[in-house]
Homo-oligomer: A and B are copies of this chain.
Amino acid sequence: VTSISDVARSAGVSSATVSRVLSGSDYPVREETRQRVLAAAGALGFRPNRLARGLVTARTNIIAVIVHDISDPYFAEVVRAFEDEARARGYQLVISSSDRDADRELEWLELLLSYRVDGVIFASSIIEDRSYQTRLRELLDHYRTEGRAVVRFAPHLAAIPGVTIDHRAAAASMIDYLLTLGHREIGMLSGPPDLRAARHRLAGYRSALEAAGIEPLPHRVVEAPFSSDGGAHAVVDLLARAPELTAIFASSDAMAIGALRPLDQAGVAVPKQLSLAGFNDVGLCRYVTPPLTTVHVPIRRQASEVLDLVVARLAGATPRSRTVGTEVVVRGSTGPPRREAELSAASQRRLQRWAADGGAP
A182 touches B (CB below 8 Å): no
A52 touches B (CB below 8 Å): yes
A261-B286, A287-B228, A289-B260 known; A114 vs B361 contact (CB < 8 Å): no
**Which residues on B sit within 8 Å (CB–CB) of A257?**
284, 287-288
B232 close to A287 (CB less than 8 A): yes
A283 touches B (CB below 8 Å): yes
**Which residues on B sit within 8 Å (CB–CB) of A114?**
47-50
B92 close to A92 (CB less than 8 A): no
Give A220-263 interface residues, CB cut-off 8 Å to B. 228, 232, 257-258, 260-261
- Nearest residue, chain B, Cβ from A263: B289
How large, as a class, is the contact surface on chain A? 35 or more
A116 touches B (CB below 8 Å): yes
**Which residues on B sit within 8 Å (CB–CB) of A287?**
228, 232, 257-258, 260-261, 288, 361
Q: Out of B52, B62, B291, which one reaches A55, CB within 8 Å?
A: B52
Each complex incorporates copies of this chain amounting to 2
A93-B95, A287-B257 known; A60 vs B71 contact (CB < 8 Å): no
**Which residues on B sit within 8 Å (CB–CB) of A92?**
94, 96, 111, 115
A15 touches B (CB below 8 Å): no
| Chain-B contact segment, one of A73-81, A123-131, A338-346 | A73-81
A70 close to B60 (CB less than 8 A): no
**Which residues on B sit within 8 Å (CB–CB) of A54?**
51
Q: Out of B45, B47, B50, B116, which one reaches A49, CB within 8 Å?
A: B116
B76 close to A115 (CB less than 8 A): no
A286 close to B361 (CB less than 8 A): yes
Inter-chain CA distance A197–B218, complex, in Å, is 51
Inter-chain CA distance A343–B227, complex, in Å, is 37
Q: Out of B70, B73, B113, which one reaches A83, CB within 8 Å?
A: B70
A97 touches B (CB below 8 Å): yes
A210 touches B (CB below 8 Å): no
Inter-chain CA distance A258–B50, complex, in Å, is 42
Inter-chain CA distance A213–B188, complex, in Å, is 54
A361 close to B331 (CB less than 8 A): yes
Shortest distance from the beta carbon of A119 to any chain B beta carbon, whole Å: 15
A291-B261, A332-B361, A361-B286 known; A97 vs B116 contact (CB < 8 Å): no
- Nearest residue, chain B, Cβ from A258: B287
Inter-chain CA distance A261–B290, complex, in Å, is 8
Inter-chain CA distance A294–B72, complex, in Å, is 20
A47-B113, A93-B96 known; 18 new pairs, CB 8 Å cut-off, are A1-B145, A47-B114, A49-B55, A49-B114, A51-B55, A69-B80, A70-B79, A73-B284, A79-B95, A83-B95, A92-B94, A94-B95, A228-B284, A228-B286, A284-B284, A286-B361, A291-B361, A332-B361
Using a CB–CB cutoff of 8 Å, the interface residues on chain A facing chain B are 1, 45, 47-52, 54-55, 60, 62, 69-73, 75-77, 79-80, 83, 92-97, 110-111, 113-116, 142, 145-146, 228, 232, 257-258, 260-261, 264, 283-284, 286-289, 291, 331-332, 361
